[in-house]
Amino acid sequence: MTDFLDAIVLLTNYVLVPGVAYGSQLALGALGVTLIYGILRFANFAHGDMMAFGTMVVILITWWFQSIGFSIAPLPVALVALPIGIAAAIVMSLGTDRLVYRFYRRRRSPSVIYILTSIGVMFVMNGIVRFIIGPDDQRFSDGARFIIKAREFKQATGLHEGLAIKLSQGITVLVTLIVVVALFRFLHKSRTGKAMRAYSDNEDLALLSGVSPERVVFVAWVIAAALAAIAGTLYGLDKSFKPFTYFQLLLPIFASAIVGGIGNPLGAVVGGFIIAFSEMTITYAYKKFLRYLLPDSWAPDSLVQFLTTDYKFAISFIILVVVLLVRPTGIFRGRT
Amino acid sequence: MSFLIGENMTGGYGAADILHGCTIAVELGEIVVIVGPNGAGKSTAMKAVFGMIDLREGSVRLDGDEITKLSPQERVRRGMGFVPQTSNIFTSMTVRENLEMGAYLRDDDFSDTMAQIFDLFPILKEKSRQIAGELSGGQRQQVAVARALMMQPRVLMLDEPTAGVSPIVMDELFDRIIEIRDSGIAVLLVEQNAAQALAIADRGYVLVNGENRFSDSGQALLEDAEVRRSFLGG
């Protein structure tokens, strides 16, 4: 019986808990991508670097807080810096829209032009971030590390396996929950939110109904930038901040948005968790897990790992390709 | 002086004109139907009246006001409702949300209007929480008409509302359109089902090649031998 419980705790510790946290981060990122897709109708390649930009501002403010000794321990002080990072990301995205995207919007350019433009924006933003904070890994979390420590868990339960839940994971899940609930309430209850859904659903009819396209686009950028800054900060707190990693996050985020059905916010959330758990379950080595469950003579010698973690991006890529081949509209029938 | 008139309209989508001096007029409390063969410019004439097409010549006047240069959105504000032929509902939103979007430009309390519309289309009240895209073809058309009515328009323009619905549903829709007319609204209708539409119409226009060929009361057009032979299939 304890073997069984140990196996469950092992899986919870290494797959479930990190998977929920990572899934939340992807969900927030995918929500931003899907929102821009729904309103402006293009896949925004600059979203990963928008996350990096917002996070960078949070880190700079956090460092300043730390240097003057300001702390909200046990919580990380980055949470206080987050609103400033969100504001900076919003200013950045609205500025980009004014300087770049609005020009193409007035020309009614096809969406492929927007996509290529967003790749350009991505490189510029990428350059800005590296120029300011550098390409290296940065750590900025402070306060307590754990909500539940592995050793304490073992002592309390008497099991061999420990369960650790990092504070950053708890914060990630809680913040994601609040943000997602607030966003869905906004989209379904408020007048502006409904106008955004209507515009995304049927642009011509929305215009006919009197929805102002510039206003809808404005709100979409504000929300997408806020989501990017939040997702990036949570990811950075949980792991670490490195500009290149954020650029790479674009692949699992796009995969999440597309698996769920691009343009569909609920799909983005579900997609985020599907991608996260696919990565976690496929790259996890089940050797120890099976040792607990199987008789000794059956215990495997190999790691029982389907793919090494080096290949985690390949998993997003494969899921993306399969979805596009089999069901291009995604689970919740988004747009194609 | 008609309540709404598109007079001597000439224009089209690009370089080539589709309308050649076409005139369409409608009074309050009247159903006017535009019929004609395929490619006659029926829908184009209606879109021209609604401002979705730039006119090279001619003018559109609503209640005596010149509105030729106004955008469709501004015409909606002035009391013109338009139901496009396709993509005329928000498929991912509920029936109620579709109606709310119809009233998007209204700042006042529109719950009375919604109640009236639910009286007119009882099935929509029943399905008000359902996603509009999941409804049947006839119900979707009701949502589309209801959405346009939420602004309490004085003119309602419908582009082939019965396209692709069964004869029973068509009769039902026409009954609703008669009720709408009886409430004092001017109704302008483009119809493929010419005979049935003329039967409910007060007046009708037969358009050919973007020009008025015949215009008379619906009944007279139905009885006209040439109209019957050419456009109504005998």
- Predicted confidence at residue A336, as pLDDT, reads 47
* CB B114 within 8 Å of CB B94: no
- Between B87, B92, B105, which is nearest A210 by CB? B105
- Predicted confidence at residue B122, as pLDDT, reads 95
Angle between helices A47-67 and A78-96 (to 10 degrees): 140
How far is B157 from B85, CA to CA, in rounded Å? 10
Report domain B1-79+198-234's class. Answer: alpha beta
A334 located within any domain: no
Closest CA to B202 of B189, B214, B211, B212: B189
CATH number at residue A59: 1.10.3470
Q: How far is A210 from chain B (nearest CA, A)?
A: 6
Nearest chain A residue to B83 by CA distance is A205
Two structure tokens written together for A243: 């500009």
Q: How far is A205 from chain B (nearest CA, A)?
A: 7
pLDDT in tens, A42-54: 999 999 999 999 9
* CB A159 within 8 Å of CB A225: no
A94 located within any domain: yes
Q: Position B210: which residue type?
A: G
Q: What is the mean pLDDT of residues A130-143?
A: 92
Secondary structure of residue A142 in the 3-state scheme: coil
Two structure tokens written together for B187: 């109704």
Q: How far is A190 from chain B (nearest CA, A)?
A: 11
Chain A residues contacting B, CB < 8 Å? 191, 194-195, 197-198, 200-202, 204-211
Two structure tokens written together for A51: 């996350």
A332 located within any domain: no
Nearest chain A residue to B74 by CA distance is A210
pLDDT in tens, B92-105: 999 999 999 999 99
Q: How far apart are the first and last CA of chain B?
A: 35
A278 located within any domain: yes
Q: Give chain A's domain count.
A: 1
Burial B75-98 (b: 16+ CB within 10 A, else e): bbebbbbbbbbeebbbebbbbbbb
Secondary structure of residue A56 in the 3-state scheme: helix
The share of chain A scoring above pLDDT 70, in percent, equals: 99
User: Testing the interface with A: which of B52, B93, B101, B106 to mutate, by most A Cβ within 10 A?
Assistant: B101
On chain A, the residues whose CB falls within 8 A of the CB of B70 are: none
Q: Do A204 and B72 touch (CB under 8 A)?
A: no
pLDDT in tens, B103-122: 999 999 999 999 999 999 99
How far is A12 from A280, CA to CA, in rounded Å? 11
Q: Do A210 and B104 touch (CB under 8 A)?
A: yes
pLDDT in tens, B42-101: 999 999 999 998 899 999 999 999 999 999 999 999 999 999 999 999 999 999 999 999
Q: What is the CA radius of gyration of chain B?
A: 17
Pairing of strands B186-190, B155-159: parallel
Q: Do B87 and A205 touch (CB under 8 A)?
A: yes
Nearest chain B residue to A202 by CA distance is B90
E-strand stretches of B109-166: 155-159
Q: Domain containing A128: what range?
A: 2-326
* CB A176 within 8 Å of CB A24: yes
Q: How far is B138 from chain A (nearest CA, A)?
A: 19
